[in-house]
Structure 1
């Protein structure tokens, strides 16, 4: 098999395994998608992958329900490095002011991958948050949001930030969105990564 095709298949496998193993709670296998220095960025957590696994497990124990669904993937490959963009949705279910709701956020995972000792692994996962919405699980339920509090959050993940704040998380307010300075800086970091520069 052509080496570049093999790399692309291994990368796609890694991206899909991230979502399946994380959402299934298959923590031992989930840890294998990362390199030892891997970093996870999310609205509610930013830090080392091993800490992300630990706090995710703690969240599960408290009833936090966050799931992921993947769409198409674009792989920019240069030697032993790759930038991988994957269309995704983040779905979080939880209580919003006494009403059980689903928040769905659509965006992309923007991943910095590297092949080390023959194995591809994730060095940095940075989501890009494009748009979101909130819906009561019971369509007959009446949901009233605090409009002022909602407006304080970035448009691309406004409802996601709202529900996460409601359950006690501190949300990062300058995450990349569909357009803007933060996503442009991320694209520059991606080009630098493919050019061999350090993160």
Structure 2
């Protein structure tokens, strides 16, 4: 019997697992390329990580991929440095849709109350991903902000923070928000954290996305 037409349950299962592995690898490449190309300012390549009608959510920005690229370029030219580092991923695929959760850190350096500081925020990228015309790309990226800290670059100095300003933001990203507002950004005050109604709602939207419902 022609081996290319013979089918049985074992071959079907192997083909299915192979296709799944390929999808998982393509999505993981997508997630890693996003970070490398964004931080390296490879904007033309970075744009390919997105669907054109996608949306980026961050503490300091919410908008389309092209808007995000434009404001990121503008900030970089002014000396803003926001960098990312990735950890492991968990990816759920259903048909042509996927939800990916990826451990990450966001780091930013700037002056805070006259002292040069680094803020490091630990969390997850929660991505709504879709395959269109055979290609996986991000439709919506919503970070989850779990915890953060601030450190002076010079260990002999320490900034004196305003407690009221610091505590006005959720615990998961209050130091990041403090720095970003200090350099002129408007920070969204209700981003998802490790626990709480915002992250619970995000998980429900993720489940709905896999069921074919809108992400927004």
Q: TM-score, normalised by structure 1?
A: 0.99
1:156 match: secondary structure? coil
Aligned equivalent of 1:65, options 61, 74, 81: 81
Aligned equivalent of 2:110, options 86, 94, 100: 94
Confirm or deny that 1:115 pairs with 2:164: no
Partner of 1:79: 95
Q: For residues 50-75 of structure 1, what are the alpha-carbon distances to aligned partners after superposition, in whole Å with 9 as ceiling and x for unaligned?
A: 10000000000111010000000000
Shift in Å, 1:46: 0.4
Aligned equivalent of 1:53, options 44, 69, 73: 69
Structure 1: give runs of 5+ residues left out of the alignment: none
1:6 match: secondary structure? helix
Confirm or deny that 1:32 pairs with 2:48: yes
Q: Distance in 2 between matches of 1:191 and 1:152?
A: 31
Shift in Å, 1:148: 1.4
Partner of 1:149: 165
Q: TM-score, normalised by structure 2?
A: 0.91
Shift in Å, 1:176: 0.3
Confirm or deny that 1:138 pairs with 2:185: no
Partner of 1:163: 179
1:105 match: secondary structure? strand
Shift in Å, 1:147: 1.1
Q: Distance in 1 between matches of 2:105 and 2:153?
A: 17
CA RMSD, aligned part only?
0.7
Structure ID, larger Rg: 2
Aligned equivalent of 2:191, options 156, 170, 175: 175
Aligned equivalent of 1:11, options 27, 41, 52: 27
2:173 match: secondary structure? helix
Q: Distance in 1 between matches of 2:34 and 2:103?
A: 14
Alignment coverage as a number of residue pairs: 199
Partner of 1:196: 212
4+ residue stretches of structure 1 with deviation over 3 A? none
